[in-house]
Amino acid sequence: MYFKYGSEVPGGRGYTVRPAESKKETQGREAFLRDFKRESCTTGDKLKVVDTKSVIKHHIVRISSLRNYLLLMASFRAFLNSPVGPKTTHFWGPVANWGFVAAGLVDMQKPPEMISGNMTAAMCIYSALFMRFAWMVQPRNYLLLACHVSNESVQLYQLSRWARAQGYLSQKKDEASSQ
């Protein structure tokens, strides 16, 4: 059994184990390590001797990477098939609602005179109602909850900007300063 670096692996990385000869298949681990210890592998034009410890360490790293990859794929598959995964409206509704948050963040750059008080108040009420819905629905939709918490804070800030521009908040300050 021998390893050749790079030439048979897609992408040219890692070690490839070629099929062993039949007599080596029956040998134990020690025989494999003894035979492998002084074998070489090619890297481009150069020929280098591979140390057994480095090869074993390399394979342990590759195995742990494979384990992490498999765990990641299992987690992704579980999310894909979950009750709030991308195959349901419990996922796509909140994704679409992040547009409200993005629009509110963009509107922070605009002058407060352009803010509609009625629409901003309606958005505040909408987000408050749907925060409760996201908490009460089974299974709990944390993505929807996070979306509406974010939207509520953005819209409340916009409403405070509008109220300041209309003079609703500054009148109370003027009354407090005159007394």
HSE value, Cβ hemisphere, 13 Å, CA-based, for 133: 12
Question: What pLDDT sits at residue 55?
Answer: 59
pLDDT band at 174 (very low <50, low <70, confident <90, very high): low
Q: What is the DSSP letter of 18?
A: P
Taking alpha carbons only, the member of 45, 41, 49 closest to residue 14 is 41
What is the value of pTM for the model shown?
0.53
CA angle 5, 8, 14 (to 5 degrees): 40
3-state secondary structure of 49: strand
Question: What pLDDT sits at residue 173?
Answer: 54
Give the least confident one: 28-32, 56-60, 144-148. 28-32
| Distance between CA atoms of residues 18 and 22, nearest Å | 12
146-158: per-residue pLDDT in tens?
Answer: 999 999 999 999 9
pLDDT averaged over the chain? 75
